[in-house]
Amino acid sequence: MNTADSQRLASELERLGHRAADTPDEADIYVVNTCVVRQSAEDKAFGRLSELAQIKKEQPNKIIGVMGCMVGVRDSLALRKRLPYVDVFLPPSEPQPMVDFLRSRMTEDEVLAREQAEREQRDQIQDGDLILPERELGNLVSAHVPVVYGCSHACTFCIIPFRRGVERSRSVGEIVGHVRSLARQGVKEVTLLGQIVDRYGKDIPDGPDLADLLRIVHNVAEETGLERIRFLTSHPNWMTDKLLETVAELPRVMPQIEVPVQAGDDEVLERMKRGYTVEQYRRLVEKIRRTIPDVAVHTDIIVGFCGETEAQFQNTYDLLADLKLDKVHLARYSPRPHTVSARRMKDDVPEEEKRRRFALLEELQARILAELNSRSLGKTVQVLVEDKHKGKWRGRTPQNKLVFFEDSGDWRGKLVDVEIVWTGPWSMQGRLPSAEARPDEPLVVMAG
């Protein structure tokens, strides 16, 4: 979500006539887009801001902005007092405060010229359109499209509802405009985003649900040449049969489901206020795999939540060992301000123990992924190529598995069949079949 927010802000700044600096030292405007879902992320943001404080002291004309969850949807006087050198505070997904600040510093002639340019641009831009920042234009293969802002579920550990506000679904027209504009600019894959993306439309009376939205976006994909559609993050309570059947039916919706379990013990889940049991989660994973052929199931796990015993952690370990999921996002619990767990529960698992449990799950998942990926050895998989990394082309399978291959052709943004010749837990290596035509060479068929 922050990536999409930063992209939108960059687009707005370019519409004002600004351009991205090649290096931080060359910048006139600095914006730190923040995440506070874990303490480590918040510490990193404050660390960067402390560096910018020195820059501001030495060069007062530099403009500094803070954006995202650290600012939140409620104006924070305490944050403003802590960061007196910051010029602009931007709530999540709201670039307008920076736009207004910069406009206030423009001359009258500059304002008139910019308004005229925007009027001309509006004739070509429809509701929901996003003009990609210049440095991403023609280079961005995969992009994020927010469809639900905020969250109203309020797990006891989660700060997102407090920082990003209540659930707000974007209109279908705005989303379609966003997707169309990305496709026109060369994007080949979009990921529809929401804190609980399955709840799309729940706040719109008689509105479409996520399955309906996927069908609409799929039609847009067929019209525009968009190759792939993904969505995240799901919640076990809101994943319906209709949604799973829609994913299975639509060829451009990828067989990847991200549905966090967070813990493998019922008592811990109850303290987290997740609203389901381990057995219900098991049955959901079985249903997903039964409904969607070749699906990859991803999950999230928090280790060391308040009161988590060794036996309860072992239940989480056993669940992952049994389910053998395709990806696990691991995090160590850290109390966040204004959450129920921070106010009413004790963070009683020592940090050293959290790290030990984290490492055990990391090792387990490495073994599981090594086993799962080894099944692809010798097979040919379809890869959407994103970019070049250390001399090799890098792309992803429909299941979002990372594949590298070498070739002299230009494969960026193209679908290519790749034969897998090596597998590891985190990526796979492949080669192009010998009969594969390079994208920059014509395929000639000789008939005698």
Domain boundaries, the chain: 2-122, 127-254, 256-374, 380-431
Q: 68 in the Ramachandran plot: left (φ > 0), alpha (ψ -120 to 50) or beta?
A: left
Res 435: pLDDT: 43
Where do we find the tokens 């993904």? Answer: 230
Res 105: pLDDT: 87
Angle at CA of residue 272, ends 269 and 275, nearest 5°:
60
Res 114: pLDDT: 66
Please list the ranges in the chain whose pLDDT falls under 50: 127, 435-437, 441-448
* DSSP 3-state of 416: strand
Res 303: pLDDT: 98
CATH number of 2-122: 3.40.50.12160
CATH number of 127-254: 3.30.750.210
Tell me, yes or no, if the two domains 127-254 and 380-431 fold the same way.
no
CATH number of 380-431: 2.40.50.140
User: What does the alpha-carbon distance between residue 151 and residue 371 come to, in Å, rounded to a whole number?
Assistant: 36
CATH number of 256-374: 3.30.750.200
Where do we find the tokens 């799973």? Answer: 244
C-alpha gyration radius of the chain: 24
